[in-house]
Every structure is written in structure tokens, then in C-alpha cells.
Structure 1
């Protein structure tokens, strides 16, 4: 049947069509697929239409497999980062809205997925660490660079903890739009832990 090798079908549903097609997100592709399937079921049998549906089903299945693999990989990465006592974070600019991974919540002794406000989080920093954070953060935003520093934080029911804050600045059209990076237990905190173990 000549329709099975139709060039037009290849151009629309070709095997080499990029999976990460930003112009056609998975949701719109799925709706399109359902619409075509409904049309095929209510119309006279057409081999070309069925062939095109088959190709689009294969394409959609590929998207779903990639999404499942990405979710599984993210979950493994999250568990590994928690075990390593580290977490990821981002701060949108200028709103200063925070987004944390589970590991970051754990470092600050907070319940995971709880609401966080930057002004409240900063109250947990020691006065010296807060002043140093303000300086390096402001310089990084102005220069569009990154920064790293060790900071002392105070956690209810835990006490004092030292963390390492690493960040970079994302810019759009020359304007800073967010800070993002890693927070982790600092080497200073680990050395204190080892000292206490040796003394005991």
C-alpha cells in the first residue's frame, strides 16, 4: 500500500522528530492524538489515517517513557543528596520566593514541603554570617557571578550548625532573575563532629 511510505506522513510524524519539541508540549500532543483517534473511529476506514495515528502513538509513548525515566532519576538523586546532607535551592528575583529540595529542609531542621519565607529563614543565621551573606550575595547579583561561603545557623532543638552555601546567578536580557545552588553541611561542621567523637 503506497500510503505506508508516504513522504507527507514522514514529515509530520517522522521517526527523527525531536522528542523535546517545545512548540508541542506532551499535553497538546495528547489532545491532538485523542482528536485524531476520535475522527478515525467515526470516519470510514482510511489506512493512511490509521498509519499516522500509529506513528503518533509511538511518539507519545516515547515521551511518556522519557518522563518516567526523568522522574525516577530525580527521585534517586534526591535520596542521594539527603544522604549526603545537602540540598538544592533557588530564589526568584526580585520576589525572593524560595524553592527548596528535601535535603535543604533537613539542613535547617524544618518540615519538608512546609511554607518558607526568606525573611524568616534569615532570622536563623548568626549576625556575622548574615552580614557576610548580604555582602557576597549583593555583589554576585550585581556582577552576575556566583558565590560560596560558610554560614552559621541556629536550629531549634538542634543548636548551632555550619552550612556551606554555593550559588550562581541566572540572568535574562542582562537582568538577574534568580539565584540557585546548593546548601550542604560544611567541612567545619564535619570537623567539629569528628572532634566530639574523638573526645568521647
Structure 2
């Protein structure tokens, strides 16, 4: 059964706005993701349930090699530490969400911009759910070498 997300988010932002949207290791004023106690509400006034963000990275110079924290594995219903292939994990995004994610991803790489997007996923071995994806390119000179960011489950009502 398809779940309806109450307040979907979808936008691109300039890298100079990075700290406004997120900084790896900081979400809504917390000093470090590692020091966040379980259940801290990182979604602010939006009223979403408590969530623990997961860190992720996609190395564009290394054939789109993915690195995920344990929380991201959990969101996708994949055993922690399992080998990751980007095409296989992208296939877990529901069709409309995958198309939006791929479009914003390409735009982020081409124009060196971050983005925030709520996507619906069909995890392996679990029911459909919504996830907030926050991404920012890591640049060397004028070239994007990685995308990195946060992912967290967005409960629906």
C-alpha cells in the first residue's frame, strides 16, 4: 500500500548555503551525529517523529562506490556491512522518487549544488517508507568528486 507523505520536501540549494541546510556532523545545532542520543528529534519543527540520521557517501571517482553508516543500511532493510551497488540500491526507490532523485543528483553534480528531497523507498524485506535525503557535492577545484550527506526515515501519519 502506497503511503502518502504529509509534507514532502524537494529543492536544490547553492553550496554557500550548505551550513543553513546541513553540515556533515551537525543537524539543527547538534555538535556531532556520533553524540546524538537515540531518539533525538533532528527534524525540528516539522513535527516528524524522532529519527537517527545516517551518513552516506557516493565516490564518483571510484565507480559510484557507496559508503553507508549502519542507520542507512537499516532504512533500506539491507544487512549492515553488506556489499553495496548503486544501481541495486537506487532500484529500491519507488519510480517517481527514483526519477526525482536521479534528476536532482545529476543537477547537483553538473552545477555543484546540494539538494534535499523526500523520497519513497521499497526496502528489501520491509514495507514502503519515506526517507529524507540531504546531499551535498564534495568538490576538488571545480570538479565534483563525491556526493555525501544524510538520510533518515520520515514517519507518515
The CA RMSD measured in Å over matched residues stands at 2.4
Question: In the superposition, relative to structure 1, how do residues 81 and 174 fare at CA in structure 2: closer, same or farther (>3 Å)?
Answer: farther
Which has more strand, going by share of residues? Answer: 2
Partner of residue 91 from structure 1, selected from 58, 79, 82: 58
Higher relative contact order (CA 8 A, sep 6+): 2
Please say which structure displays the higher CA radius of gyration. 1
Cross-structure match for 1:164: 132
Q: 1:156 offset after TM fit, Å?
A: 3.2
Number of paired residues? Answer: 117
Local SS of the residue matching 1:107: helix
1:107-138 deviation digits (Å, cap 9, x = unpaired): 11111111111011011111111110111111
Matches within 5 A, 1:1-200: 76-77=34-35, 80=38, 84-94=51-61, 95-186=63-154, 190-192=155-157
1:78 and 1:102 in contact (8 A); partners too: no
Q: 1:159 offset after TM fit, Å?
A: 1.3
1:61-93 deviation digits (Å, cap 9, x = unpaired): xxxxxxxxxxxxx89448748983320000001
Give distance in 2, aligned partners of 1:111 and 1:77. Answer: 23
Give distance in 2, aligned partners of 1:75 and 1:112. Answer: 18
1:85 and 1:107 in contact (8 A); partners too: no
Give distance in 2, aligned partners of 1:77 and 1:115. Answer: 27
1:89 and 1:100 in contact (8 A); partners too: yes
**Which ranges of structure 1 fall in alignment gaps of 5 or more residues?**
1-73, 193-200
TM-score by length of 2: 0.67
TM-score by length of 1: 0.53
Q: 1:173 offset after TM fit, Å?
A: 1.7
2:130 and 2:156 in contact (8 A); partners too: no
Which has more helix, going by share of residues? Answer: 1
